Structure 1
């Protein structure tokens, strides 16, 4: 395939959707320069606190503008009542729920969910989140890319700690990114194995949230986040990349 400079490539569209690759059968005959297509990855995390069932995050970094930009939102949270997320929109566009996890029945319940939505316009985004009940805080983790394929997603939730905080991502596309994010009803430090921690912090309600990442390899990608025994946890892991 020829190497094409950015300055010599005109954008190609099918209707309103930009084409980034073209095939003849199984042979790649044209591709947009890689530097023009933002790689899939984590953008930033945002937290809003104060008791409320709805949150509106303005000025969110959702990645470079692209007609085929996909945004993924992870939402780990914990509180005494049911704090499951009922809906998510980005710039008014409804997001699709990919997976969720949660525990109920204790002093602190943990909930986690992951959502995906195509957002073709806007240099930044407004992310609106609606919970089933008022929560003391909401934290969102924002990821984005172009024509994003989620090749695997899995979740775990339990009140028995590290026994149930292991996930195997077994259908990941080699080279895709694997991200895992967790909320634990404990202020004790998280310990990850099989994956590298990106961030970790204590929430306004003294729970702990963590994010970790790795590049997917062939076969099983096993990752574990250890927390104190008996701690309620909600863990989600997924693999994704640009198509």
Structure 2
């Protein structure tokens, strides 16, 4: 039996990148995993299929985050396929403006900022709030933030870092609020990770210099793989982390040192 056998997990944005690595690792550890997606049904179904091919259990559910009623839609879809929850991972997030670009501080619009906060901050707030009646005592909440909340972000990522700072505050406060129920709440804060989101500046021969420089920021001398973050989340989802709560876990490979 795996460390998470008999438990049900929900991973927002669980079909791609870090979310997929988290979903697959929780599935290998025995959890039945709800793989949430906003638009990429194919990726979510591929992730669920990979979990099942490895001997685990998974299901997919769709809900667009960052819009009114997003949490209600998500939990209604969840309730159709599961009865109760043990592990909630708020992984879904965006770091770009509405048009999909990164723009300097002086060009970021109000709509851009409001969209970043709607997806990265407001959505996790209400997903947790409305998920608590489903989350069993002794459960786990893991929020995915960014190492940029503990350093000075470049101007094009400033609003993104600010939105994730709200997640850090949410983690600490809810750890106090939910401790009496035996529920732990922690944040994992990755640095640069080799995902599709970062492919434009990390992958390919044309980006070799940038990749080398990025990897050199870590004392370990490389860029993170999504599984590096998935394994940290798996620890926080397990009984081994029972005495860890309210913590901001640096998942940057020491890049902030």
- State TM-score, norm by structure 1: 0.30
Question: Which is helix-richer, 1 or 2?
Answer: 2
Query: Which structure would you say has the larger RCO, counting Cα contacts within 8 Å and 6 or more residues apart?
Result: 1
Greater fraction strand: 1
